[in-house]
Amino acid sequence: MSIDLSAPHDRAPRRGRPTGFESAAAAPTEAARDVPRPAAIPRPMPAPAGPDQPVLARDRAELRAALAALDRRGDAHLRTDTEDDQESGPARAASRHDRPVRAVVMTMGALHEGHASLLRAARAQADQVVATIFVNPLQFGAGEDLDRYPRTLAADLAVCAREGVDVVFAPTVIHDPPPLVQLSAGPLGAVLEGASRPGHFDGMLTLVGTMLHLVHPDLAFFGRKDAQQLVCIRRMVVDLAFDVTVIGVETAREPDGLARSSRNVYLTPVQRTDALALSRALAAGVAASGAGAPAVLAAAGAVLAAADGVAVDYLELASPEDLGPVRSGPALLLVAARVGTTRLIDNISLILPTNAQGA
């Protein structure tokens, strides 16, 4: 494929404890405040499977113990590094702050190379990396694939070990009973994916907010493939004053352009070939972006209309800040479609012209 479908990384934060919300679309509005960190509890910390294996925490108490142990170990390293005046790597970041920098990568399991890229980004920018694995029932609607969503914990732990994760939080339940109080995505959750999946983003934000409170990360890494999810999380972090920096990581793709997704395992060989129409449509849209928004949608739509086995749900141009209409400047081209019974999403960033022809 001649057009690079990958979106650029968001601006990386400075090493060390971040100062608030980090985004290519919005700037920090206030300095972050220190949040009390969980203290150690008497319950023994679950032992890792081996010297290079992450600690597996299966409930909140085990998570608290694992995080407390990480902080104790980090404090010891911080004291040693300060005494030795070492100023390189993660120790350098920790030496300037009250504790090592912690990152979280939230997943629903069935980890693939896309998740691995998030874990690598977290490992490169943080002293501590926590991965969460939980299939969130709050974000699945009636008739969706909650029961058949792939669950591959043993393989997921192997991926986490390979990428240097310190703690894996893989609970069997988070909210029991289901929460009476949930977060709302508001208007951001009613368009695009939200129009097809009512309540999806409310459930997603409720889970993400809960995980942020449990893990207390400084950095949170999310994939740009789920663009609407990323927009909603960023807005939640700003609106509700979460003390965390959100980092978007570019979409991981197969060599032929297909966006990596846990749902790709549902595709037959023929359907997988059909699914390439989504990335081809995005490439066609980018190629036409110099001619303006109508040309982008026409070019991408023509590719999808000619594809076999692809039922388009939506093809839209939207603002990367608030998902509203956009006619010039930075934009997201987003597509969702069913290939067989599998629903796939994809998107790409582009720049629309500001001249009269493209406006």
pLDDT tens string, the chain, 359 residues long: the values are 444 444 444 534 434 444 443 433 333 333 333 333 333 333 434 444 455 799 999 999 999 999 999 999 876 665 555 445 444 444 444 444 567 999 999 999 999 999 999 999 999 999 999 999 999 999 988 777 788 888 999 999 999 999 999 999 999 999 999 999 999 999 999 999 999 889 999 999 999 999 999 999 999 999 999 999 999 999 999 999 999 999 999 999 999 999 999 899 999 999 999 999 999 999 999 999 999 999 999 999 999 999 999 999 999 999 999 999 999 999 999 999 999 999 999 999 999 998 645 44
Question: What is the pLDDT, as a whole number, of residue 41?
Answer: 34
Query: Quick one: residue 197, left, alpha or beta (phi over 0 = left, psi -120 to 50 = alpha)?
Result: beta
Query: Which tokens in the block code for residue 98?
Result: 């009250």
Q: What are 97-101's contacts with CB under 8 Å, separation 24+?
A: 97/16, 97/17, 98/17, 98/34, 99/37, 99/71, 99/74, 99/75, 100/70, 100/71, 100/74, 100/126, 100/127, 100/128, 101/15, 101/16, 101/17, 101/18, 101/125, 101/126, 101/127, 101/128, 101/218, 101/219
**Cα 349 from chain centroid (whole Å):** 16
Catalytic site residue 115?
yes
Q: Are 185 and 239 in contact (CB under 8 A)?
A: no
- C-alpha 129/C-alpha 276 separation (Å) is 33
What's the CA angle centered on 180, arms 175 and 185, to 5 degrees?
Answer: 90
Reduced to 3 states (helix: H, G, I; strand: E, B; else coil), residue 124 is helix
DSSP secondary structure, 252-295, as one string: PB-TTSPBP-GGGGG--HHHHHHHHHHHHHHHHHHHTGGG-HHH
Between the alpha carbon of residue 176 and those of residues 161, 171, 184, 194, 260, the distances in Å are 29, 12, 19, 25, 32
Catalytic residue among 112, 115, 200, 216: 115
- C-alpha 11/C-alpha 257 separation (Å) is 24
Predicted model pTM: 0.80
**Alpha helices (H) along the chain:** 60-84, 89-94, 113-125, 153-162, 193-196, 200-215, 227-239, 269-287, 293-305
Q: Are 314 and 346 in contact (CB under 8 A)?
A: no
Walk across the sheet containing 342-352 and list its strands. Answer: 310-318, 329-339, 342-352
Beta-carbon contacts of residue 32 (< 8 Å; ≥ 6 apart): 17, 18, 19, 20, 243
Question: What is the pLDDT, as a whole number, of residue 304?
Answer: 98
CB atoms within 10 A of CB 170: 20
- C-alpha 208/C-alpha 185 separation (Å) is 12
Question: What is the pLDDT, as a whole number, of residue 17?
Answer: 45
Question: What is the pLDDT, as a whole number, of residue 51?
Answer: 57
Reduced to 3 states (helix: H, G, I; strand: E, B; else coil), residue 298 is helix
Question: What is the pLDDT, as a whole number, of residue 273?
Answer: 97
- C-alpha 199/C-alpha 202 separation (Å) is 5
Q: Which of 33, 36, 32 is nearest to 19 (CA)?
A: 32
Question: What is the pLDDT, as a whole number, of residue 98?
Answer: 67
